[in-house]
Amino acid sequence: MKIIVFCTVFLLPFTSFSSQYLCIAELSTGYMYDTSLQEWKRVQFNVEGSKYVISPSDQTEYAYEVKQFNSERPDWFCKKNISEFGFLKCTGLLDSKFKFNNDNRRFMMTSSFGYVEVLPDMNKLTDDSTDTPNMEIGACSPF
């Protein structure tokens, strides 16, 4: 009986946090500048092949990392572990975000690079040369 209580109280809360997750995008939307109309338009992006792996990080300064499926290089790093509320918040290059909810297993990825984060010699400060800000959502499964 003591073993069951010990496992329930001390080990069970951590078992769901130590897994890897495979996340598959379901929808992606954003904005693209239409040069012929000279205005921004809402667009849907193709999510085929948009898969990510959340896993504990090998780097000691991070709790987790997120990689595109079949990639060796992480795109997002998560400084903190999954919170008591089930949230994991990760930051990538140029402030892109990857957020995960361990309770409902949903994720959201956002990128504003090239629209808000404009770098010298990479993007001009004009609408027709900026990148497309986007948001991707989907679901994750432990594996």
Residue 23 forms part of a structural domain: yes
Joined together, the tokens standing for residue 52 give: 């990510």
Number of domains in the chain: 1
Residue 109 forms part of a structural domain: yes
Q: Tell me what pLDDT residue 57 has.
A: 96
* Element holding 5 (H helix, E strand): helix 2-6
Residue 10 forms part of a structural domain: no
Range of the domain at 46: 19-142
Could you tell me whether strands 97-101 and 106-111 are parallel, antiparallel, or unpaired per DSSP bridges? Answer: antiparallel
- Reported for 83-92, long-range contacts at CB under 8 A and 24+ positions apart, including other chains, are 88/54, 88/64, 90/64, 90/65, 90/66, 92/66
Q: Tell me what pLDDT residue 95 has.
A: 78
Q: Is the pLDDT of residue 4 over 80?
A: no
Q: Is the pLDDT of residue 79 over 70?
A: yes
Amino acid letter for position 143: F
Question: What average pLDDT does the segment 126-141 reach?
Answer: 85
Q: Is the pLDDT of residue 7 over 70?
A: no
Residue 13 forms part of a structural domain: no
Residue 12 forms part of a structural domain: no
Q: Is the pLDDT of residue 43 over 90?
A: yes
Whether 110 and 97 have beta carbons less than 8 Å apart is answered as yes
- Rounded to two decimals, what is the model's pTM? 0.80
Amino acid letter for position 81: N
